[in-house]
């Protein structure tokens, strides 16, 4: 047996640990990742940008997938961030980039949020509805899913209800850790729960008003999916209760796994998009 000098042995151990760490980060098995780890991901740049209104936050980033045979598939993506100004579109750029790499044209929507001029409820929802109509004019009946994460999931579900004319040409609606019940969510403790309460207080005062702003009280798109991590501490599993839609439980996944391209949850999301848009 060959014995390495102590210094070489230590160097070898360090190299092994760095290599193993890198491999683990890219093997699509990560779970319960932090928000910071999402921010540190490489993302590339979008291919184009469109304004759908006069406010600086009323724009869409377009991520154009490499040309493939067959009809192009599109994802209209609504980022989360507790409806707050502090959390903008940039933290989901890695997710948009990963969807583009997976063969989807991605239309990532920015919208007015609480803390900026005109960001009071229901401005965010109205912006998302306007953005969806704007995008649909460019799609020429191509397959499209509307997908949102967390607060963005809440907006995606509400913007595509069955009584919304633009919903007729949408193939699927997918809520990733979506907030569905504003009554129960605003009563819980947590920074995002408090943000939800502050958002609703800008327009509503009664529990009935809060219920009206909840996807649980709406007739949702006929092909609506909720994808939810079992270890989510920001939007708990209880947010998938009392709502009659299709559901996919992501075992062991935390809140930010659903926008982290190296997570096991992300694999499930891409599989879902493929099933709904590329059957």
Please write the tens of the pLDDT for every residue from 211-256: 889 999 999 999 999 999 999 999 999 999 989 999 999 999 999 9
- The DSSP bridge pattern shows strands 48-51 and 59-63 to be antiparallel
**Do 250 and 243 form a contact (C-beta atoms < 8 A)?**
no
Q: How far is it, in rounded angstroms, from Cα 183 to Cα 175?
A: 18
Q: How far apart are CA 244 and CA 59, in angstroms?
A: 32
CA 81 from centroid of its chain's CA atoms? 10
pTM score, whole prediction: 0.89
Helices (H), the chain: 6-25, 35-39, 93-101, 123-139, 151-159, 182-187, 191-201, 207-212, 264-277
> Higher pLDDT residue, 19 or 67?
67
pLDDT exceeding 90 applies to what percent of the chain? 78
pLDDT greater than 60 at residue 24:
no
Which pLDDT belongs to residue 202?
80
- If phi > 0 it is left, if psi is from -120 to 50 it is alpha, else beta; for residue 159 that is alpha
pLDDT at residue 127 above 80?
A: yes
Transcribe 191-239 into DSSP letters: HHHHHHHHHHHTT--SHHHHHHTSGGGS---TTEEEEEETT-SSS-GGG
pLDDT confidence band for 68 (50 / 70 / 90):
confident
Please compute the mean of the pLDDT values over residues 159-188 and round it to a whole number. Answer: 95
Count other C-beta atoms under 10 Å from residue 35's C-beta.
15
What is residue 28's predicted lDDT score, i.e. its pLDDT?
A: 76
Walk me through the domains of the chain, giving residue ranges and CATH numbers.
34-277 (3.40.50.1820)
**Quick one: average pLDDT of 17-31?**
51
Contacts of 169 (CB under 8 A, 6+ apart): 136, 139, 141, 144
Q: Is the separation of the CB atoms in 63 and 106 below 8 Å?
A: yes
Contact 167, 221 (CB under 8 A): yes
Residue from 226, 221, 252 nearest 239 by CA: 226
Rounded Cα distance between 218 and 79, Å, is: 21
pLDDT at 201 (0 to 100) = 86
Q: Are 219 and 190 in contact (CB under 8 A)?
A: no
pLDDT band at 71 (very low <50, low <70, confident <90, very high): confident
Q: What percent of the chain has pLDDT over 70?
A: 90
**Neighbour-count burial of 279, counting CB atoms closer than 10 A to its CB (0-12 exposed, 13-18 middle, 19+ buried):** exposed
Contacts of 47 (CB under 8 A, 6+ apart): 62, 63, 64
Average pLDDT of the residues in 199-214: 85
What integer pLDDT is reported at residue 27 of this predicted model?
Answer: 60
Mean pLDDT of 42-71: 93
Q: What is the pLDDT of residue 13?
A: 33
Rounded Cα distance, 43 and 54, in Å: 27
14 CB-contact burial (10 Å; exposed 0-12 / middle 13-18 / buried 19+): exposed
Q: What pLDDT shows up at residue 9? A: 40
């Amino acid at each position: 047996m060959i014995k390495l000098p102590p210094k070489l042995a230590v160097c070898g151990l360090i190299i092994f640990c760095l290599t193993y760490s890198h491999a683990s980060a890219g093997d699509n098995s990560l779970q319960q990742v932090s928000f910071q780890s999402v921010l540190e991901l490489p993302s590339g740049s979008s291919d184009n940008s469109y304004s759908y209104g006069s406010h600086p936050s009323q724009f869409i980033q377009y991520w154009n997938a490499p040309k493939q045979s067959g009809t192009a598939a599109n994802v209209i993506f609504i980022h989360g961030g507790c409806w707050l100004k502090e959390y903008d579109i940039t933290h989901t750029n890695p997710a948009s980039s990963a969807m583009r790499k997976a063969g989807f044209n991605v239309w990532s929507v920015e919208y007015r949020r609480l803390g900026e001029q005109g960001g009071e409820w229901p401005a965010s929802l109205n912006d998302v509805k306007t953005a969806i109509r704007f995008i649909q004019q460019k799609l020429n009946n191509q397959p499209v899913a509307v997908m949102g994460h967390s607060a963005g999931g809440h907006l995606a579900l509400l913007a595509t209800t069955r009584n919304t004319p633009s919903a007729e040409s949408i193939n699927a609606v997918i809520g990733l850790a979506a907030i569905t019940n504003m009554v129960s969510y605003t009563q819980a403790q947590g920074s995002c729960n408090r943000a939800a309460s502050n958002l609703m207080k800008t327009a509503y005062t009664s529990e009935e008003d809060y219920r009206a702003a909840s996807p649980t009280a709406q007739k949702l798109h006929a092909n609506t999916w909720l994808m939810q991590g079992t270890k989510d501490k920001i939007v708990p599993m209880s947010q998938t209760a009392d709502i009659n839609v299709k559901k996919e439980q992501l075992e062991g996944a935390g809140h930010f796994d659903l926008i982290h391209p190296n997570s096991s949850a992300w694999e499930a999301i891409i599989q879902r998009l493929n099933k709904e848009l590329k059957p």
